[in-house]
């Protein structure tokens, strides 16, 4: 299977996301009623909202809201995968019951309920996507560790490490190159990318629920717009025939961008 195409797609999509983050303004443009609900032809590239503010600014601010927390959550899960795989490869069997018990308890709880409880107890000044993203990552970590441990087990576990030591390889080469680089890479990249996309969807979900009831979001300050605001405009186009079809298409495109990135990077990292 050729991995270059998904790698190229992942790179392009990542650059598109990075460009959006770089474009994010601190504040939205002033209201310009003459451009209200303008389509992409009248106000390129994405058109405007009901107050004439460019949807490009919505998209860029939304990207800046999710970028760092999603990246950190992905890295946390990837690190957890490495830990799970390395523990199994080192033959530290005493840790297995602890990981299994953590996995059992964490897996027994509906994640969204845990997220809402965390959102509930956080002081207002701490509210933001980062603590929720970290919580999501911690909830996802046991599953990722299990999968990485299974890969290390199939590899031969401690016997694989012993065999490579017998060939004279250093510990760093065995663990960093052979175990993590060659064997765990597909798991940790896919798990990390999946959690990144889940964090983005979590932000969209929480912000959409808040926006649909005119409540402040848990995930970002009121001065910033989320991708959920674009989707909400799209919803009004579908449900009430408001003139925001361009917002519906943009929202769908952004979701595809995130899903596509997660899928492409996972395929690019697949084992040969």
Partner 1 sequence: MNRWWLRPLVRSAAALVLPVAVPFLCVLLLWALPGDPASIICPPETCSGTEELARRWNLDQGPTHYFLSWAGGVAQGEWGNSWRLMTGMGVRGLVEESVPNTLILLGLALIPVLVGSLLAALEVVGEKVDPALQLIGAVPGILLALIAAAWQTLTFGLDGEPTAGLLLGAAVLGLSDGVFSGAVIGTRSLFGGERRQRYVGVALLRGERIIENTLPNVAPAFIGQLRARTIQLLSGAVVIEVVLRIDGIGDLLWQATLVQDFGLVMPLVTAFSLISSALLLLQAVAEVGVALHVRRSPKLPGGAA
Binding site for partner 1 (CB under 8 A): 101, 104-105, 107-113, 116-124, 126, 201, 204-205, 208-210, 212-213, 215, 231, 234-235, 238-240, 252, 255, 259, 263
**How far is it, in rounded angstroms, from Cα 162 to Cα 39?**
64
Contact 25, 63 (CB under 8 A): no
For residue 267, what are its two tokens? 């395929």
In angstroms, give the least distance from the CB of 181 to partner 1: 27
Q: Which is nearer to partner 1, 28 or 116 (CB)?
A: 116
In angstroms, give the least distance from the CB of 124 to partner 1: 7
Q: Which is nearer to partner 1, 89 or 204 (CB)?
A: 204
Contact 120, 151 (CB under 8 A): no
- Secondary structure (3-state) at 54: strand
- Secondary structure (3-state) at 37: coil
Q: Which is nearer to partner 1, 4 or 213 (CB)?
A: 213
Q: Which is nearer to partner 1, 58 or 208 (CB)?
A: 208
Q: Which is nearer to partner 1, 46 or 261 (CB)?
A: 261
- Secondary structure (3-state) at 55: helix
Q: Which residue has the tokens 């030591």?
A: 165
In angstroms, give the least distance from the CB of 228 to partner 1: 8
Q: Which is nearer to partner 1, 163 or 238 (CB)?
A: 238
**How far is it, in rounded angstroms, from Cα 154 to Cα 39?**
55
Which alpha helices (H) appear in the chain, and where do they start and end?
Answer: 4-23, 55-89, 95-107, 111-121, 129-155, 158-166, 171-172, 185-212, 227-240, 245-268
- Secondary structure (3-state) at 268: helix
In angstroms, give the least distance from the CB of 105 to partner 1: 6
In angstroms, give the least distance from the CB of 208 to partner 1: 6
**How far is it, in rounded angstroms, from Cα 98 to Cα 114?**
21
In angstroms, give the least distance from the CB of 259 to partner 1: 5
């Amino acid at each position: 299977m050729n991995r270059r195409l998904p790698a190229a797609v992942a790179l392009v999509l990542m650059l598109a996301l990075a460009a959006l983050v770089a474009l994010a303004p601190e504040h939205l443009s002033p209201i310009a009623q003459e451009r209200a609900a303008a389509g992409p032809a009248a106000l390129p590239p994405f058109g405007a909202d009901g107050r004439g503010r460019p949807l490009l600014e919505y998209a860029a601010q939304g990207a800046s809201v999710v970028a760092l927390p999603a990246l950190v959550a992905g890295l946390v899960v990837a690190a957890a995968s490495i830990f799970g795989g390395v523990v199994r490869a080192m033959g530290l069997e005493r840790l297995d019951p602890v990981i299994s018990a953590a996995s059992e308890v964490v897996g027994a709880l509906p994640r969204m309920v845990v997220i809402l409880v965390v959102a509930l107890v956080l002081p207002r000044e701490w509210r933001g996507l980062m603590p929720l993203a970290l919580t999501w990552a911690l909830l996802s970590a046991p599953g990722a560790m299990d999968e990485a441990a299974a890969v290390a087990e199939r590899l031969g576990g401690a016997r694989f490490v012993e065999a490579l030591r017998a060939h004279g390889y250093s510990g760093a080469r065995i663990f960093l190159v052979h175990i993590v680089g060659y064997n765990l890479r597909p798991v940790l990249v896919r798990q990390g990318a999946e959690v990144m996309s889940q964090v983005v969807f979590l932000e969209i979900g929480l912000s959409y629920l808040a926006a649909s009831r005119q409540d402040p979001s848990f995930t970002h300050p009121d001065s910033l717009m989320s991708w959920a605001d674009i989707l909400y405009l799209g919803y009004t186009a579908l449900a009430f025939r408001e003139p925001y079809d361009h917002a519906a298409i943009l929202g769908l495109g952004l979701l595809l961008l995130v899903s596509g990135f997660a899928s492409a990077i996972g395929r690019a990292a697949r084992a040969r």
